Amino acid sequence: SKADLFPLEYWSLEQAKLAANKPKPLTGQIVLVTGGAGAIGAATAKLFADNGAHAVVVDLDAARATEAAKKAGNGSIGVGADITDPAQMRAAFDKAIAVYGGLD
């Protein structure tokens, strides 16, 4: 009957609405990924970004860190820093704080 068809016709639309409104699990979180220009670091940054987080991608090579951040997406940024140098890491954290207001 016509009454039985209505729910069937609109079920896919209802499912789409329900799925579209689900926030990603890490929405609004800020993460810092070291070694971010390498394969594992870049994949980690991308995984965080795909789940809603903003990634601060840190690597010795600033250009590659920036490239990895662009590939990760979701407003991620790249920062060049040597993780063994406290001053450079402080600068990386300062950049994260300046851009995002902190880290989670």
pLDDT at residue 77, rounded to an integer = 98
> Does the pLDDT value for residue 94 go beyond 80?
yes
Domain 23-100: CATH superfamily, name plus number? NAD(P)-binding Rossmann-like Domain (3.40.50.720)
CA distance 4 to 9: 9
Beta strands (DSSP E) in the chain are 30-34, 54-59, 77-80
22-47 pLDDT, tens digit each: 889 999 999 999 999 999 999 999 99
pLDDT at residue 1, rounded to an integer = 54
CA distance 33 to 43: 10
Q: Write down the pTM of the prediction.
A: 0.80
